Structure 1
């Protein structure tokens, strides 16, 4: 069924349980009563017969109780550790402030729990190297950990990547933002001790997009123009930045993001510009060749359910092989949308999905598949998460703001 844009969004944001929970459903415990947990787990869990949100804990017991009542969570615990100690809990969602991700993800893994970990996974690559290389991951029946880069699981991202050729991409530009009125100065994004900053917030989406489009790691962070707060707990917390990275062959990737954007939200976008290449065309005379330069832009890639579009612009020319003279030029443009994998087509066209599924639902499906030992079509590996934090560190070092502080928690 095809929904109107408004119906699709309303149904996506207000999921209703559609089938009974299975006896072997995974039971989740939630550490903290963060609003983001509603997007990541509460809403998509209603649509998943193999997921039950069983328990929640918060620093403030009253807040946890209110959160549990509002979200239909049956159990409230006094501490995070009580949830980790409960043998009835299979999985842990960690939506805490960035600075607490490392400690509680490590503790959850050591408690034998599977972990769905909000991005950015940790505060810096020092923590990432420890967390994602814990010895528990080498044991039989090792726990599963996933950094929650939800947009990577949405069909539009799969379609976008199918339309680019990483080896031919010479330049990538990315944009993301949050309006100024959505994030006050007192938000955890602007608390240095909580590992705040725009590069840790929306910016990490941009950085991951660059790595995925080029399909490799950056060789160098060339420059970072960061605007940051300077006083008190907000010190060295960037609210706006523009970063430029060099990839192999002097190819350039750029990232712009702000948490103090204009009043009206602007959709995220990423543009991949390809080098000019020869297009085989047997209809041409022997002395001529056909060339194309492709530009592919995905709009609204971070929260694709609200609105998205992929634009493909190809500039063609026919030229003489002898002297390179351009004999003819023209441009062709196409646009695409994909709320489901069926709409995206390609190798995963038979994967389940609905127009009203948010990227978080697609992500939860893959998390459950991994825990249940089923095949994954898309995943964020532990190695990938370490490399992601290395790129963030690169940018913070270049900006002069320094790495986000390392946790004092010591792994035993």
Structure 2
């Protein structure tokens, strides 16, 4: 219990690292409420990251943010940060609908020639869609128990309590890309794609709930969707208006029955296994997570399938560090108090510095991800979120 409390405290009050001379200087566009957790705190403990500047729609708000979080420079506009030669990287925690103007409409941006290496530009800019939870070791440990080709069904869910969002928040602003699918569901979608190791062929159903007040009725606050993948069905649900108590996100994977070689059995018998793997807490694993593996075994007659023996083997696992997760990246730096945003920042810096990153969200992945979001909104009847007019 003491170690849990210590890990939790250190995650949100990390030690300040001594900064290196070649540290990457970040600018932040917008004094968003997610910025301290997503960038300010993770940067504190990274010796190669400095949050140098911030701009907001309201300069007074930017100044207040800078004073509170120790950001040296305040700029009047987002463009001033973009144009500043002393800023090496930009973090964009703006609403979905503003991402393209300052970062991305996935298909357009990731195919810009400016992002491709050339003779005159051997090291093009690095662009990352910040799916922070995909960088946490817990998710990668979980995936070691999953065999994508054998997966037949996946259920994922996520939520935030109703008191966390209000009707007039950005999450329900249609023009800014609001809705539960965009706000939370896209994380579920990404996990589904990682589990199946492929892309959905069709969105079979997508049922949504909206306020129906004539103002916010294009933004879903709850959705439930079902996708057909090449070898199975993925179901997913999310809500921004959940019960008063927080429920950890969940990904539950069911595999098809497979034959397990067993040389101790007579020639007319076989051993089969059906596996279910569940990751509790795929969104914010640092708060709490657990990986449950349940293997159901049957020894049976091959001729007619009559069971001879049946039993269940269960185990539970956790992974807060790369060492815990194992595999080829087990030797990379990692601390048990690093939240997913800190693991993400580590991968970003490693990529910039030309070192190996334990995980990366490619431009191709981001484009495929948005296709899945579009499939859901089309099926729901609410329609696609507005496309930016910025060019």
Quick check: TM above 0.5? yes
Q: 1:259 aligns with which of 240, 258, 261?
A: 240
Structure 2 equivalent of residue 129 of structure 1: 107
Name the SS for the 2:181 alignment partner.
coil
Q: 1:65 aligns with which of 47, 55, 63?
A: 63
1:15 aligned to 2:14?
A: yes
Deviations 1:249-277 (A, max 9, x none): 3x100001000000000000001100000
Report if aligned partners of 1:189, 1:196 keep a CA contact under 8 Å in 2.
Answer: yes
Distance in 1 of aligned mates of 2:313 and 2:390: 56
Matches within 5 A, 1:282-321: 282-321=263-302
In the TM superposition, what is the alpha-carbon distance from 1:11 to its structure 2 partner? 1.0
Distance in 2 of aligned mates of 1:286 and 1:407: 64
Distance in 1 of aligned mates of 2:154 and 2:197: 12
Structure 1 equivalent of residue 42 of structure 2: 44
Distance in 1 of aligned mates of 2:356 and 2:281: 28
In the TM superposition, what is the alpha-carbon distance from 1:231 to its structure 2 partner? 3.3
Distance in 1 of aligned mates of 2:233 and 2:206: 13
Name the SS for the 2:238 alignment partner.
strand
Q: 2:374 aligns with which of 368, 378, 393?
A: 393
Distance in 1 of aligned mates of 2:215 and 2:23: 42
In the TM superposition, what is the alpha-carbon distance from 1:235 to its structure 2 partner? 2.7
Structure 1 equivalent of residue 142 of structure 2: 160
Distance in 1 of aligned mates of 2:41 and 2:215: 33
Structure 2 equivalent of residue 358 of structure 1: 339
Q: 1:406 aligns with which of 379, 387, 390?
A: 387
Matched pairs, number: 387
Deviations 1:105-157 (A, max 9, x none): 1xxxxxxxxxxxxxxxx5xxxx3211111110114221001111111111111
Distance in 1 of aligned mates of 2:355 and 2:215: 45
Report if aligned partners of 1:191, 1:235 keep a CA contact under 8 Å in 2.
Answer: no
In the TM superposition, what is the alpha-carbon distance from 1:188 to its structure 2 partner? 0.4
In the TM superposition, what is the alpha-carbon distance from 1:21 to its structure 2 partner? 0.5
Report if aligned partners of 1:230, 1:237 keep a CA contact under 8 Å in 2.
Answer: no
Matches within 5 A, 1:52-91: 52-91=50-89
Distance in 1 of aligned mates of 2:106 and 2:214: 27
Structure 2 equivalent of residue 150 of structure 1: 132
Q: 1:171 aligns with which of 129, 134, 153?
A: 153
Structure 2 equivalent of residue 118 of structure 1: none
In the TM superposition, what is the alpha-carbon distance from 1:342 to its structure 2 partner? 1.2
Q: Which moved more, 1:386-395 or 1:281-290?
A: 281-290
Structure 1 equivalent of residue 116 of structure 2: 138
Distance in 2 of aligned mates of 1:283 and 1:130: 58
Distance in 1 of aligned mates of 2:6 and 2:214: 45
Distance in 2 of aligned mates of 1:73 and 1:231: 41
Q: Which moved more, 1:254-263 or 1:229-238?
A: 229-238
In the TM superposition, what is the alpha-carbon distance from 1:349 to its structure 2 partner? 1.8
In the TM superposition, what is the alpha-carbon distance from 1:3 to its structure 2 partner? 5.6
Distance in 1 of aligned mates of 2:197 and 2:325: 20
Distance in 1 of aligned mates of 2:218 and 2:113: 34
In the TM superposition, what is the alpha-carbon distance from 1:232 to its structure 2 partner? 4.4
Distance in 2 of aligned mates of 1:200 and 1:273: 26
Structure 2 equivalent of residue 111 of structure 1: none
Name the SS for the 1:200 alignment partner.
helix
Matches within 5 A, 1:227-266: 227-249=209-231, 251-266=232-247
In the TM superposition, what is the alpha-carbon distance from 1:15 to its structure 2 partner? 1.3
Name the SS for the 2:183 alignment partner.
coil
Report if aligned partners of 1:5, 1:306 keep a CA contact under 8 Å in 2.
Answer: no
Distance in 2 of aligned mates of 1:23 and 1:77: 23
Deviations 1:154-211 (A, max 9, x none): 1111100111000000000001000000011111000111110000011001000110
Deviations 1:204-259 (A, max 9, x none): 0100011000000000000011111333442310000100000113x100001000
Structure 2 equivalent of residue 99 of structure 1: 97
Structure 1 equivalent of residue 316 of structure 2: 335
Q: Which moved more, 1:139-148 or 1:204-213?
A: 139-148
Distance in 2 of aligned mates of 1:25 and 1:104: 23
In the TM superposition, what is the alpha-carbon distance from 1:308 to its structure 2 partner? 0.3
Structure 2 equivalent of residue 110 of structure 1: none
Q: 1:25 aligns with which of 23, 26, 40?
A: 23
Deviations 1:350-390 (A, max 9, x none): 12111111011110000001111112220000000000000
Distance in 1 of aligned mates of 2:133 and 2:389: 31
